[in-house]
Amino acid sequence: HVQLVESGGGSVQAGGSLRLSCAASGYTYSSYCMGWFRQAPGKEREGVAGMRRGSDGSGSTVYPNPLKGRVTITQDTAKNTVYLDIHALTSGDTATYYCAAGSTHNIIKTLTPSLYDYWGQGTQVTVSS
């Protein structure tokens, strides 16, 4: 039984930073992908960051162009936790943030929500000016 639990959301001032965590359990694949997504009211879910871990332990990451330089996805394999760091927050970053796990082999496609098999419940991020 795969379970993803996000945490770290909250209310922050514009210009600040935030670290979101996604604790994963029950996912036993040797190669996999993880992604962070967000969804604001009335908008479609969009990819924020993606990563792929190969069976040899190699890893790669991808970010959408508008967010490059402001977001970073990292992983602590010992803790089975994936992190998302977001800097220089603006009101446009206000959304519910979700982490997801899947098995796509294409790093670019790790930003595509429909390719993921498992999702967390989401954590709310609200940025105030």
Mean pLDDT (the chain, rounded): 94
Residue 18 pLDDT: 96
The three-class DSSP label of residue 48 is: strand
Q: Which pair of structure tokens corresponds to residue 55?
A: 């069976």
Mind listing the pLDDT tens digit for each residue in 9-47?
A: 999 999 999 999 999 999 877 788 999 999 999 999 999
Q: Name residue 49's beta-bridge partners.
A: 36
**pLDDT for position 105:** 81
Task: Please check whether residue 72 is in contact with residue 103, taking contact to mean a CB–CB distance below 8 angstroms.
Answer: no
pLDDT of residue 109: 87
What SS3 class is residue 107? coil
